[in-house]
Amino acid sequence: MSISDRSRKAMEDLGMTGYEIRVYTSLLEVGAMTAADISKKSGVPYSKIYEVLNSLEDKGWLESDSSRPQKFFPKSPSTALEAMRMRSENNFRESQAAIMNELMPIYTKSGIKEKPEIWVVRGIYNIAAKVSEIVENCQHELLVALPSVAQDVAKPMQPVLRTLHERGVKINVLASEDTSTDIVRALSRVAEVKLKTDMFGGGVIGDGKHVMILLGEGMVENGMIDPIAIWADHAALAGFAKDYFRYLWADAKAQQKKTSSSNNNR
């Protein structure tokens, strides 16, 4: 029986050998057979056939009866895969318990702390690129604090925010009260927007794991503002930033979400 390369690769990824695949697919094609018949049908040497059959039976892909000569029957792929999944989950839980019970106390006692990955990012274009990376990789929730100095970052973000909105990502934007009306209107189409006075910083938090914090306007060189930000890929730091965002969010002024109906009234 010939199967596609894709299916063969999938079976190999599950730990099946070439001989096991040939034996199992032969049984699927013909049905119950003796070991000798399986050897002839599959091309697996008879000297290896019982080793292969026993392995497949242990893995849950076939079963045998007590007749003479003994016959072997294939289990359905769905039954075999479900048994393999359950066995894999049980093995993982046992391994997890063994590792956690022995190694976590050692880790805790040692006082080792996780080293967060933190970078200082300078310049509006570098900051915008890093913000875009966080936004594009977001899957569930995006929190954006947008001070007036960061309005230039908001403009290139809007098409990506629209894509996230269409994917069902929850987007909250906290903007400065002096943010451009056009930007607020555009953001309101794809996000829940609130306005707040006295915003001295800003940032982006993606899925509670990735965070970019804008540290004000930074240095001025050649008459141009060079903003500075911190980027971190650390759940604890992102969690702290998220809590602070929620604190500011609760005290901000909600904006009405814009819809296409406003266009119809023109």
CA proximity to 74, closest of 84, 63, 85, 65: 63
pTM, entire model: 0.50
- Mean residue pLDDT across the chain: 85
What is the per-residue pLDDT for 153? 64
DSSP structure class, residue 217: S
What average pLDDT score do residues 120-139 get?
A: 84
Taking only the tens place, the pLDDT of each residue in 38-69 is 999 999 999 999 999 999 999 999 999 989 99
Taking only the tens place, the pLDDT of each residue in 141-180 is 999 988 776 666 667 677 888 889 999 999 999 988 888 8
Please give the C-alpha separations between residue 29 and each of 13, 17, 48, 66, 76, in angstroms, as whole numbers: 22, 18, 20, 22, 12
What is the per-residue pLDDT for 266? 41
Going from N- to C-terminal start, the domains of the chain cover: 5-75, 118-256
What is the per-residue pLDDT for 265? 45
In single-letter form, the type of residue at position 191 comes to A
Number of H helices, E strands in the chain: 10, 13
Which CATH number is correct for 5-75, 1.10.10.10, 1.20.1510.10, 3.30.200.20, 3.30.2040.10?
1.10.10.10
Q: What are phi and psi of 79, to 5 degrees?
A: -65, -45
Domain with residues 118-256, CATH architecture? 2-Layer Sandwich (3.30)
